[in-house]
Structure 1
Amino acid sequence: MASSGKDGRIDYIEFNVTDIARARSFYGNTFGWSFTDYGADYCEFSDGNLKGGFANAGDVKPGGGPLVIFFADDLADTLKRVEKAGGKIVKPIFNFPGGRRFHFTDLEGYELAVWSDR
Structure 2
Amino acid sequence: MYEVDFVEFPSTSATASGEFFARAFGRQVTPYGPDYTDVRAAGLTFGFRADAAEQPGAPLVTIRTDDLAAARTAVEAAGGEVTAEPFAFPGGRHFHFREPGGSELAVWCPE
TM-score by length of 2: 0.85
| DSSP 3-state at the match of 1:30 | helix
Q: Could you list the per-position Cα deviations for residues 24-82 of structure 1 after superposition, in whole angstroms to 9, with x for gaps in the alignment?
A: 23323332222011122211111243222111242667xx7421110111101111111
Instruction: List runs of 5+ in structure 1 lacking aligned partners.
Output: 1-6
- Cα shift at 1:107: 1.2
Over the residues paired in the alignment, what is the CA RMSD in angstroms?
A: 1.9
Q: Distance in 2 between matches of 1:73 and 1:96?
A: 16
2:101 is matched with which residue?
108
Greater fraction of residues in strand: 2
Residues 7-39 of structure 1: per-residue CA shift (max 9 Å, x gap): 211021111212112212332333222201112
Distance in 2, Cα, partners of 1:106 & 1:31: 33
Q: Distance in 2 between matches of 1:26 and 1:87?
A: 35
Give every structure 1 segment of 4 or more consecutive aligned residues whose post-TM-superposition deviation is greater than 4 Å: none
Change beyond 3 A, Cα 1:72–1:14:
same
**Contact 2:65-2:109 within 8 A present in 1 as well:** yes
Question: Structure 1-normalised TM-score?
Answer: 0.81
Match in the other structure for 2:82: 89
The counterpart of 2:110, out of the listed 91, 113, 117, is: 117
Contact 1:86-1:107 at 8 Å conserved across structures: yes
Corresponding position: 1:20 with 2:14: yes
5+ unaligned residues in a row in structure 2: which ranges? Answer: none
- Equivalent residue pairs, number: 110
The separation in 2 between residues aligned to 1:29 and 1:50, in whole angstroms, is 18
